[in-house]
Amino acid sequence: MTRRVVITGIGLVSPLATGTAKTWEGLIAGRSGIGPITRFDAKDHDTRIAGEVRDFLPEQWIEKKDIRRLDPFMQYGIAAGKMAMEDSGLQVTDANAERIGCLVGSGIGGLTTLEETYQKVLDKGPSRVSPFFIPQMIINLAPGQISIKLGVKGPNWSPVSACATGAHAVGEAMRTIQRGDAEAVVAGGTEAPITSLGVAGFNAAKAMCSTHNDAPTKASRPFDRERNGFVMAEGAGLLMLEELEHAKARGARIYAELVGYAANADAYHITQPAPEGEGAARCMRLALQDARVRPEEVGYINAHGTSTPYNDANETRAIKAVFGEHASKLAVSSIKSMIGHQLGAAGSTEAGVCALALHHGVLPPTINYENSDPECDLDYVPNQAREARAEVVVSNSFGFGGTNAVLVLRRF
């Protein structure tokens, strides 16, 4: 019999707030966390806006002596991991530490550290490179650091799959528990890409929003006819996944059950989705099969919804291909309209929001949906949250390289 997996803890660090409750409150209120870039002087960049985490105080989560040794993406991950652990109520002991894992990825990793260190080499020479440079930069030190802070000794590694990273981490953590390799896993993604080099790189790839600098809160507009690119964001989304009987035995509060996961590839293009969303459609079908869920049972889809011309139209086509006539009855929304695109943290943040939507019976909106697009003609929960008791929800994540990940959650 397959071991069932549930979500018992959620930790979110987002442009709306540091903290799960405050982030959820902002999403349901339809607030935007997008604003002018303050991390560096962006005046020479085409894009001068982003979703920065503005209220994060690392000393609330990390000892002062350690802060300067940790890249921001690690700091966000540690904070979110501690939140998820505390929210779950799970106590780590000598008896259970080896049965609790940590799977946390990032799309880019320590970009801030890389950029600052390279400048130091140019200005002062290689002898001034910190011995903490490599441990600050490499992605698997995020779960490494989190495991040290939490004392968990189970499986520990990092998936790296661009914008699908967080969803892959959650899905692979689910598989880890199903196989019996752990009873609980802290899983998700963390990202801090808002640097001069990061913004310049995405601009060069023609992937970022570049024409709404004067109206940052309106810049991310998934499925809207006037969308012209995604808005980069930072933060972390970590979930505590737990084997059902293990959670019940300790009286844990359960947000939702994670019932399906699939991963596949477009094998088409490094940045553009396959025509008609063919790869995304296959991935959704595989995830529904894994969950043993019929398409008509799904009530809500948390879309990848990046606010790019390519993604939003093709994702809409993929949803229609998978759900047929039921697609017109589905609620579909993108929280990237409010918090931007957290890259490697997006999929796990969105999975956490799906669990909250099931738990509270409220669907987050797609804000800035003002101009209908004939290519995007589904119900995108426009501009206002909606009370709705969905039984099954789907969370889509698609990344550069044509990598796709889909998660299916059920009300518990």
Tens digit of each residue's pLDDT (9 = 90 or more) over 62-106: 999 999 999 999 999 999 999 999 999 999 999 999 999 999 999
* Shared-domain flag, residues 105 and 27: yes
Q: Are residues 211 and 296 in the same domain?
A: no
**188 plus 296 within the same structural domain:** no
Q: Would you say residue 209 has pLDDT above 80? A: no
Give the CA-trace dihedral at 312, 173, 108, 395, to 10 degrees: 10
Among residues 249, 275, 292, the one where a domain terminates is 249
Contacts of 409 (CB under 8 A, 6+ apart): 7, 256, 257, 258, 259, 351, 354, 355, 358, 392, 393, 394, 395
| Distances from the Cα of 234 to the Cα of 51, 197, 342, angstroms | 6, 15, 5
Report how many domains make up the chain.
2
Q: How far apart are CA 78 and CA 190, in angstroms?
A: 9
Please check the confidence at residue 412 and state whether its pLDDT lies above 90.
yes
User: What are the catalytic residues?
Assistant: 163, 304, 341
- Cα torsion 275, 279, 285, 290 to 10°: value is -170
Examine the fold and report which residue of 249, 280, 307 is the final residue of a domain before the chain moves on.
249
Q: Which two tokens stand for residue 98?
A: 């080896």
**Residue owning tokens 């969303």:** 277
CATH number at residue 359: 3.40.47.10
Residue 390, pLDDT score = 97
Lowest mean pLDDT among 78-92, 188-202, 206-220, 314-328: 206-220
Give yes or no: residues 294 and 240 share one domain.
no
For the chain, how big is the Rg over CA atoms in Å? 20
Assess whether pLDDT exceeds 70 at residue 211.
no
Question: Are 210 and 285 members of one domain?
Answer: no
Q: Are residues 181 and 265 in the same domain?
A: no
**Do 304 and 214 fall within a single domain?**
no
- Alpha-carbon distances of 309 from 15, 46, 103, 192, 305, rounded to whole Å: 23, 18, 32, 25, 10
Please determine, for residue 207, whether its predicted confidence score (pLDDT) is greater than 80: no
Per-residue model confidence as pLDDT tens digits over 34-64: 999 999 999 999 999 999 999 999 999 999 9
Please check whether residues 298 and 330 belong to one and the same domain: yes
Secondary structure (3-state) at 355: helix
274 within a domain of the structure (yes/no) = yes
**Which residue segment(s) compose the domain that 192 sits in?**
5-249
Does 83 share its domain with 112?
yes
